[in-house]
Amino acid sequence: MAEEADPTSVDPDYERHGGFPRFSPADPGPGFGEFVAGMRRLQDLAVSADPDDATWDVAAAKVAELVELLAPSQAGELVGPAGRSLKLPAAGSLLLPPWQITAFGPDGVALDVTFSRYHVGGNNAVHGGVLPLLFDTLFGMTIRAVRRPISRTAFLHVDYRKVTPIDVQLSARGWVREIDGRKTFVNAELRDPDGALLAEANGLMVRLLPHQP
């Protein structure tokens, strides 16, 4: 990812936006990457495994042990490495499908992204509600890439063109369509390996006023 511009250079009121966390990259040890990869696999199994009752009891006990191990280290927003580890898929966030940035600049953002069993809504197709999450994330990244001030999503509209498959590397792209004062109008699309359009989105990002969170 390209280095983030100093937010105050494009928005002098940055520090007054309700304490909006200032992003800084994290570089945790390899154990975190292995942990995230394992958790992604566990999420897939959590929605697809069908073992006997005894196996569920053992699995529940192991999860409880893991919760007990990590609970004392719980930290605030943008303190832990999740979402800030730029070398990992989706920057180490389990909220999002694993993506990797392929372009980041004034023309917008491009990603490679792969959905898995965890994201299925039915019939091995990605749940329709997952795609707005991807597009909203892409909109936020696009705002940063084009060096617009801190903005929040005012609206997001998605058109579904084809079924989105799992276990296939797809490409997503976001770009700015128009800027009007505090308003930034953004577009995005998701395509399969053959270039077929799976879904597209348009939205409005609005620059925060001083003291707005």
Query: What value does the mean pLDDT take over residues 143-166?
Result: 94
Task: Give 58-103 pLDDT, tens digit per residue.
Answer: 999 999 999 999 999 999 888 899 999 999 999 999 999 999 999 9
User: In the numeric block, which tokens belong to residue 209?
Assistant: 């006023």
User: In the numeric block, which tokens belong to residue 68?
Assistant: 């007990």
User: Does residue 3 lie in a domain region?
Assistant: no
Q: Is 3's pLDDT higher than 60?
A: no
Residues of the domain holding 155: 10-207
User: Does residue 5 lie in a domain region?
Assistant: no
Q: Is 5's pLDDT higher than 90?
A: no
- CB 111 within 8 Å of CB 172: yes
The secondary element (H helix, E strand) that includes residue 57 is: helix 53-70
Three-state SS at 208: coil
pLDDT, position 10: 63
Residues 6 or more apart whose CB falls under 8 angstroms from that of 113 comprise 97, 98, 99, 100, 134, 169, 170, 171, 172, 190
pLDDT, position 208: 86
User: Does residue 213 lie in a domain region?
Assistant: no
Residue 16 sits in a domain whose CATH number is 3.10.129.10
Count of structural domains, the chain: 1
User: Does residue 212 lie in a domain region?
Assistant: no
Strand partners for 105: 108
pLDDT, position 189: 98
Look-up of token digits 């009121």: 13
User: Does residue 53 lie in a domain region?
Assistant: yes
Q: What is the chain's mean pLDDT, rounded?
A: 91
The secondary element (H helix, E strand) that includes residue 16 is: none
In whole angstroms, give the CA distance from residue 196 to residue 98. 21
User: Does residue 194 lie in a domain region?
Assistant: yes
User: Does residue 73 lie in a domain region?
Assistant: yes
What number of helices (H) and strands (E) belong to the chain? 4, 8
Using alpha carbons, list the distances in angstroms from residue 10 to 13, 143, 201.
9, 12, 26
DSSP 35: H
Query: What value does the mean pLDDT take over residues 163-180?
Result: 97
- Record the pTM: 0.88
